[in-house]
Structure 1
Amino acid sequence: MKFSAAILTGLLATATTFISAAPASAIEERATCVEANRFGKFTLAQTQVKEGRQFHVTYDQPCGDYANVKPNRFNFVIGAKNGYRKIKLISSVPKDYRHAEFAMTAPDFYVDKSFDGATTLVAEIEFDQPGPKGSEATHLYHEDLPLNVTQA
């Protein structure tokens, strides 16, 4: 079967138009968004901090639109053997929820002499998605980050 140059050019133009109909960013986002990135990623700027001192946490969500995960609230809890303490609750999520930075202060724990400083920062997002019957359902996702809190 022979194709003329005009028909082949027309087919290529149609295919190119079809492919370019989807935004390049959406195609790239789907290709790079693995399941592990679906909820975003929290990172600590430093993993050791003295009690009463500030430390910084960053949240990056490269796949938010594709995964339909848009945080309504951030919650940070720190703890270890001595129980957990809420240290920050952020209800006003930045408009660009894909990247957020938070400064918080390491709490003044009651610690005994045997305390080695090893704690866990539990970083949590709250988001809504349609449930199986279409109504909104609130979901929680958390990530545990090791943080060493030493006495000042």
Structure 2
Amino acid sequence: MHQSAKVIVEGAGPVDLFLSLKLARQRVDVLVLEAESGILQSPRATTYMPIVLDEMAKVGTVDDLVKAGHIDYEGIQFRQSYVRGGEVPGSLKMSQVPKGTVKCNYAGIHLGQHLVTKIILEHCQKQHSFRILWKHRFVGANQTDKSKPVEVLAVGP
């Protein structure tokens, strides 16, 4: 099967899909290649700070993230692992953040990375210039001449 796109993104993690969404919203033809059959379900990252949420607002996903996640209105703590005693060497309370520095009035949203990825993917799929190929692993790229397009090789079903 031969497909072409202006931009090919390898991977369907949250950063890959965030970039894809930003491009697709600008009507750039985006094709995502993902080796897995769907979004990986391991939660990994679980906290999204105001600076990230400001960027998510720019692509229209922040309201869905707020609905799906737990909002932290108080602040954050930086904690050593319990193996090392669990001490709190520092914290940041929302009351310490200067007004107008961030657009939201909370310290962050707690939500598993797999759920954030799902929300971003749903927004991507609303864009006509976005496509994703599941079970397609990137294996190489080639460009025979600078004036020719780059050829990307992916293996899949």
TM interval, shorter chain, is under 0.3
| Structure having the higher Rg | 1
Q: Please, what TM-score do these two structures have when normalized by structure 1?
A: 0.22
Decide which structure has greater helix share.
2
Taking structure 2 as the reference length, the TM-score comes to 0.22
Structure having the higher strand fraction is 1
